Chains A and B, each alone.
Chain A
Amino acid sequence: METQPESDQESNQTESATSEPEDFEEFEEDDNDDNEDDFEQEEGEEAESMTAEARMRKNRAKMESLIMRLSKEQVPVRVHEVIIKGNTKTKGSLIESEVEAILRDATRFQQLLRAASVANARLQRLGVFDSVSITLDAGPPEVPGTANVVIEVSEAKNLLNGEIGIYTKPEARSWSLEGSLKLKNLFGFGDLWDGSVAYGWGQASEVSTGVSLPKFKVLATPMSARISLLSQDWLNFSSYREQVLGLSLGLLSSGNHDVSCNLSWRTLKDPSQMSSDTVRRQLGHNLFSALKYAFKVDRRDSLMRPTRGHAFIYTTQIGGLFPDIRSLRLIRQEFDLRYAIPLGFYRAALNFGISGGLVFPWGSGYMNTPSYLPERFFIGGNSSPVCSLRGPTSVLGFRARGLGPAEPRRPDNSDGGKPDDSGMDHIGGDLALTAFADLSFDLPLRALREAGIHGHVFACTGSLNKLTENAYKDFSFEKLRDSFRSSAGFGIIVPTKLFRMEVNYCYILKQNEHDQGKSGVKFSFSSPL
């Protein structure tokens, strides 16, 4: 066709046009798109005969007409070849697999530009390149109407990255200091290795190392694997210390679904020798192999201060899939539902939510077997239920693990007993339910409003019951209704970049005999992650 050789030359001239800062939309969206003209030299020879000024005017006229054409008409073009440069270590097939499909699908020039920017974003997301630039080049002259795509990557010079941070872990009721080292692209497959050490004040420490691989060749979805050694100290709450050596594999992580499997060796010990009967019976070694599926939808407008939207998480875990029948067998289900309604004045919003969980053993004799102690539900701690979606874990006003069934410890006959020792072990429950309602609003002072500091009024309730070891036979609706404890209060919330700090006054409305709820001013820290 007549227009074909023209479009060839025009696509060449496109290169020189885009190097000028025109207000041309398609090119401006790509910050890293560096369009060079490889064939400018050929053009130059033709125009040598004209004067410089006339040459410029002619080129500009050509460019304007080309731009008009491109913006109004559909210029057909297809990709002839994808050339990859600059990857000394990264496997070329990895880069191709990320971008080839979308580039080849483009049949029009504008589609090709859009595909190029998407490909750019995907390669950046792998996290192993310092910079990525995609150039559209003319195809070989003997094949008209084609373009070559040249992908030039600059691999990260510093393979090793270090990070140190302080994070909050709501279950552990304390801060944890975490340091991690990350290695990028060790084998050229876009692999990301990391090793981290986390230490939580006196309660939990973890050493772990992991690798994550992007979607490539046989891997239909990105996968990750992690080996960790975790040690958690619950001596003050439940008289045991837990050590877990685990291997977890993230099998599928796409959109709302997440499937992972976990194989861990868990050891419970009691160095204090003061544990109650239930805890004493569970001390020892166990192999836990579980498959976990999580479904998550979070449509709220903000994690720190949700004012509209909803969120729903459902997790189910089946343990005991290891071929050895002596491994732990249980089924654990958890769900969280949150809803936020804006009220229209003072940026006020009503948040309410409900969370529930159930754990039950399976296998022969499951009705008489107790559920595994660390896998039970524990309610308590000072983390806000508004932003954390971790199942039924918090009712404000109660100490960590302070709500629920408790058993007396071994009596301490020595003279020096700890003053704040309640003498009870909190042993958790199999059926947990929590619910809350929270009204948040801006404060009248402008300075506070601008800093994001706002106030809230809340009410929460929670219940924790035992069902295993034939306790479900005595279980009734009345018993469930009577087992609900509740608290209410008000406070001020200070959101920062990393976490959400709250200063609350909690008043315990109802608590049972051995619960550890106390009315008063409490600080709470939560992290939405």
Chain B
Amino acid sequence: MEDGGGERERLTLVARKPCFGLPTACPKSLPVYIYLRFSKIPFSLEFNLIHPDSDQIPFVESGDYVAYNNEKGGVIPNLKEDGIVDLDSEVSGIPEWVSIKAMVESWLADAVMYELWVGCDGKSAQKIYYSDLPWPIGKILYFKQVLVVKQLLGITSDNAERREEEIYSRAALAYGALSSRLGEQSFFFDNRPTSLDAAFLGHVLFVLHALPETSVLRSKLLSHSNLVSYAENLKMEYVDANLSSSSVPQSDPSSSASKRGPSHWSSKPRSKAKREKTEEEKKFRRRAKYFLATQLVAILIFLSLLGGSSDAEVELGDDDDGLNYD
């Protein structure tokens, strides 16, 4: 609105908080940010820190116009349909483009959701979504979200391991296919950015920067060096370059990932150790349950015996001449 020469009012993207060196650390908001960056439209970035369980975020607003995440398939399709910005006009008819995009938005999105909420220890999720909420609310919402994610991914205590394998293997397949499709190009199609690049770049940046080093998904991604260099190059060109013009804080001292250079990606997969730990945990939980049950039974027996003996005392007491009912 205050910019001269713009017929349209200034665009504002409301997303989740920035951390780990990323302008916004939420895996749903980052692709939208990158898409707007690709389109070279000026926009301002604002953050919503108190509504982690909302599916309306991220949203884009401009004057009276609002494009929510949960309408018409997402913010990007919304922006395309409403004529604000459309980078896919020439590729959206290509079947390969559509199927690669579908693979990124289903298999890879599921893998990130699993890794963020179930696979890793949850510290990244807590930092991104709940670090600005008061502690009791943050904790309760976090546990609620873990349950929701497990429901969405169809994970139960019986099939947990099987589902995990399935999710990781699909992610690995997707990475392999994307790596061979990309080769040494800068973009996937037509040598220019499309929403597919926005979605995939958002995914890769999130996995590399926001997930911990012990993440299995991260280690699978690191095995494809062309994908990693694709992400780094595009990040330098589109994300880091204009950081000063938007309202993103430049340094995040709490994130150690921002100091690492491109050749220093390290991963420490603990897949085997993790599986053993899960079994140990299960054994421990079973034993703890038996222990607690035994304690409870002992207490109940004790109380019933004690209750019996105290009844006997009261009967004796009635023989006394007690006027005092205190």
Contacts and interface: CB of A to CB of B under 8 A. Distances in A.
Interface of A: 83-87, 92-93, 96, 265, 269-270, 273, 277, 280-281, 283-287, 322, 324, 326-327, 408, 410-411
Contacts of B325: 84-87, 92
Given A322-B134, A324-B135, A411-B64, A285 B326 contact: no
B325 to A, nearest CB: 6
B268 interface: no
A277 B68 CA distance: 13
Contacts of A283: 48, 51, 54, 56
Most chain A beta-carbon contacts within 10 A, residue among B50, B51, B65, B136: B50
The 5 A-B residue pairs whose C-beta atoms are closest, nearest first, are A284-B50, A284-B51, A92-B326, A287-B134, A324-B134
B45 interface: no
Interface in B42-74: 48-52, 54, 56, 61, 64-66, 68, 70-71
Contacts of B136: 265, 287
Name B's interface SS.
loop
Given A92-B325, A92-B326, A273-B56, A285 B64 contact: no
B134 A326 contact: yes
Interface string B62-98: 0011101011000000000000000000000000000
B323 interface: yes
Contacts, number: 58
21 contacts: A86-B325, A92-B325, A93-B326, A265-B136, A269-B54, A273-B71, A277-B61, A281-B48, A283-B48, A283-B54, A283-B56, A284-B54, A285-B50, A285-B51, A285-B52, A287-B133, A322-B134, A324-B134, A408-B64, A410-B64, A411-B65
Contacts of B51: 283-285
Given A283-B54, A285-B141, A84 B134 contact: no
Interface string B231-270: 0000000000000000000000000000000000000000
B305 interface: no
Contacts of A410: 64-66
Nearest to A150: B323
Contacts of A411: 64-65
B83 to A, nearest CB: 14
Contacts of A322: 134
A93 B326 CA distance: 7
Given A273-B56, A410-B64, A284 B48 contact: yes
Interface string B24-50: 000000000000000000000000111
**Central interface residue in B51, B64, B71, B134, by most chain A CB within 10 Å:** B134
Contact of A273 (B64, B68, B137): B68
Contacts of B66: 273, 280, 410
B326 A265 contact: no
Given A265-B137, A324-B134, A326-B132, A286 B56 contact: no
A3 to B, nearest CB: 29
Contacts of A326: 132-134
Nearest to A269: B54
Contacts of A86: 325
A84 B54 contact: no
Given A273-B71, A281-B48, A283-B51, 20 more contacts: A84-B325, A93-B326, A270-B56, A273-B56, A273-B66, A273-B70, A283-B48, A283-B56, A284-B50, A284-B51, A284-B54, A285-B52, A285-B133, A285-B141, A287-B133, A326-B132, A326-B133, A327-B134, A408-B64, A410-B66
Contacts of B132: 326
B56 A84 contact: no
Contacts of B133: 285, 287, 326
A130 B270 CA distance: 70
A265 B137 CA distance: 7
Interface in B120-150: 132-137, 141
Contacts of B65: 410-411
A285 B54 CA distance: 10
Contacts of B56: 270, 273, 283
B323 A83 contact: yes
A408 B70 CA distance: 22
A87 B325 CA distance: 8
Contacts of A270: 56
A106 to B, nearest CB: 22
Interface hub of A83, A92, A96, A326 (most chain B Cβ within 10 A): A326
B133 to A, nearest CB: 6
A41 to B, nearest CB: 18
Nearest to A268: B51
B134 to A, nearest CB: 4
B63 to A, nearest CB: 9
A92 B326 CA distance: 5
A33 B64 CA distance: 75
B96 to A, nearest CB: 34
A84 B326 contact: yes
A154 to B, nearest CB: 14
B53 to A, nearest CB: 8
Contacts of B49: 284
A17 B262 CA distance: 105
Contacts of B326: 84, 92-93, 96
B65 to A, nearest CB: 8
Contacts of A83: 323-324
Contacts of B137: 265, 285-287
B52 to A, nearest CB: 8
Among A265, A285, A287, max chain B CB count under 10 A is at A285
Contacts of B135: 324
A283 B59 CA distance: 13
A72 B132 CA distance: 76
A216 to B, nearest CB: 14
A280 to B, nearest CB: 8
Contacts of B323: 83
A423 to B, nearest CB: 10
A382 B65 CA distance: 35
A83 B323 CA distance: 8
Nearest to A287: B134
Nearest to B136: A287
A66 to B, nearest CB: 28
A2 to B, nearest CB: 32
B71 to A, nearest CB: 7
A418 B120 CA distance: 47
A92 B137 CA distance: 42
Contacts of A265: 136-137
A283 B48 CA distance: 9
A85 B66 CA distance: 72
Contacts of B71: 273
Nearest to A411: B64
A96 B325 CA distance: 12
B269 to A, nearest CB: 35
Nearest to B12: A277
A372 to B, nearest CB: 11
A377 B301 CA distance: 58
Nearest to B66: A410
Contacts of B52: 285
A87 B324 CA distance: 11
Contacts of A324: 134-135
A324 B65 CA distance: 36
A265 B61 CA distance: 28
